[in-house]
A and B are shown apart, each in its own frame.
Chain A
């Protein structure tokens, strides 16, 4: 992974105003995305993971605004962009997005072919027969059989998995540099889910894409992500290479996320679980946002927000447990077992 940064976020703050109250959705995130990598942002609903990536595309809801920090894409400051016109140069063209529900991103009244062709004409500058040829190619590429016939069909004639393939086809037809996949497989069945992830990975290689996955399920990203960022309450609490986060997680929240996966559970024994629910971001968070739910919390967690502690040059976590003064706390048993468990025993 060359240190070639394509997108650099620095100390980003996002707030929403809802009927007079302020919701602090993103609380000072800094993150570098490297060219060609595949980054997974993992967090629960309400952790701000979708809001965070929406800021890269200028898609925040009207009542939300960036109140601090910067987002630099290829040297261009995105927080300065104001008009829709400015954003159109970025959206789709440079950064494209695949949403959770394919039906919401497809126009039900237009044929699949026409919708992809629009993107091809707009972004690749092809016309007429050439454009049509490009559409057929891209359909084939995303694994849709019989593209000649499918070209003329409407979204409702496609199954959920096929629709998601079409959405991916449209996104890729724009030849973006960054592809953001927002829970791309949550709405799909397990078998289809794996196929779609495989498809995205293939396309990433072929087009040299940088991909950002957003998901709430750590289990899903093990085979697609190079790096993983774990978000909690509007902040990245741990970030590192995929193996580092899975085999040597350091933040208690990452421990909890991992060890609560039923895949790791032992039958007849309770799963590791965290009590409670994420904090209400309408209230100011003091100290470590995870502290009230963390049985291993230190007293300082309730007083001061922890800084990042580096575990390796590529792996850091925001928890006081990594402070040299902190007592040594072992991760739960499941986590220590994970490394030994090895290959999926059922394949």
Chain B
């Protein structure tokens, strides 16, 4: 793994919302790296801070501590205009709700090429790029003259992907890109994302609440709970050997399309009060190569004993 190049490094990231008097720490000291060409999954419940991390990376939310490095350069806080332009071009985002993330009053043509306006292209060139981006995501180029209203959820999500692709990015943050879609459409979008990754060598940060989807598409997975990462591992490793009780609970809750298995399954419930962190606070530890866990000494010993 050491030979792989780090595309994004997040070190001790803190994001705080609210007023100074009533601060709310949405992200509490999160650290992880994303390697070039991989799909990195970030899994957690709503309110766990996963979306906030994505938005902090793309610089919609200001950070209150720690740093985010993209190709070695710090991109949070104040940055130069030139770096800002580069980062805007190279990091793009796919949003969760295709109904809310497209400008209803603009034509697809404008929506898809919005990011190009700063580049002063010729009209012809711009149109060509729009047509190409649309057909890249499996839509007909003639859709350019229509309004988002006319499209179904899956088609809209692909318009959202085309809008990101036209910038020719290296890194895409996909914030729950399929959870608002119908099941039969999800597969289309997932396939499209993997296909694009193969063709263009994209790197993804895939944010989701659903482990089954993440297992299918991600190389490595980080599990986040209440603003803290609790576990991070290669996805097969995480599924084969989940160490944190919260990860175990998430895994047990995956609904399987198999009635016999489902009717026998046992749900694990995660109760944070099971930890005894008062005297022995937890730390972010690499328990085996590439497998990180938030645990205290006592818990680590238990894990070692089990082996």
Contact = CB atoms under 8 A, between A and B. Distances in A.
B184 to A, nearest CB: 5
Contacts, number: 145
Contacts of A271: 187, 190-191, 216
B183 interface: yes
Nearest to A197: B255
A193 interface: yes
A218 B250 contact: no
B267 interface: yes
Given A219-B257, A271-B216, A189 B45 contact: yes
A216 B184 CA distance: 9
Contacts of A192: 45
A195 B265 CA distance: 12
B152 A278 contact: yes
Which of A267, A272, A278 has most chain B Cβ within 10 Å? Answer: A267
A109 interface: no
A195 to B, nearest CB: 7
B51 to A, nearest CB: 13
Contacts of B155: 277
B258 A338 contact: yes
Interface in A222-281: 222-223, 225, 242-243, 246-247, 256-258, 260-265, 267, 270-275, 277-278
Interface in A292-347: 338, 341-344, 346-347
B256 A190 contact: no
A257 B254 contact: no
A298 to B, nearest CB: 21
B259 interface: yes
B138 to A, nearest CB: 8
Interface residues of B, number: 48
Interface residues of A, number: 49
A223 B262 contact: yes
Contact of B258 (A191, A225, A267, A342): A342
Nearest to B44: A189
A346 B254 contact: yes
A44 interface: yes
A260 B186 CA distance: 8
A267 B213 CA distance: 10
Contacts of B257: 218-219, 222, 246, 258, 261, 263-264, 338
Interface in B108-124: none
Contacts of A242: 259
A346 B262 contact: no
Contacts of B191: 270-271, 273
B212 A263 contact: yes
Given A273-B187, A347-B266, A263 B256 contact: yes
Interface string B228-265: 00000000000100000000011111111111111111
Given A44-B182, A191-B269, A222-B256, A344 B209 contact: no
Interface string B118-162: 000000000000000000001000000000000011110000000
B187 A219 contact: no
Given A273-B187, A344-B265, A190 B182 contact: no
B154 A262 contact: no
B194 interface: yes
A50 to B, nearest CB: 13
A347 B267 CA distance: 9
Given A190-B254, A191-B270, A278-B152, A343 B261 contact: yes
Interface centre among B138, B155, B255 (most CB of A within 10 A): B255
Contacts of B267: 191, 194-195, 198
Contacts of A343: 258, 260-261, 264
Contact of A223 (B187, B209, B255): B255
B207 interface: no
Given A44-B182, A219-B212, A189 B46 contact: yes
B97 interface: no
Given A262-B187, A262-B217, A267-B216, 8 more contacts: A194-B255, A198-B267, A264-B257, A270-B195, A272-B187, A273-B184, A277-B154, A347-B252
Interface of B: 45-46, 138, 152-155, 182-188, 190-191, 194-195, 209-213, 215-217, 239, 249-267, 269-270
Question: Top 3 nearest A-B pairs by Cβ distance?
Answer: A223-B262, A260-B187, A273-B187
21 contacts: A44-B182, A45-B182, A189-B209, A190-B45, A194-B252, A198-B267, A218-B183, A219-B257, A223-B263, A257-B183, A261-B212, A262-B190, A262-B217, A263-B257, A265-B190, A270-B191, A273-B191, A277-B155, A342-B260, A344-B254, A344-B258
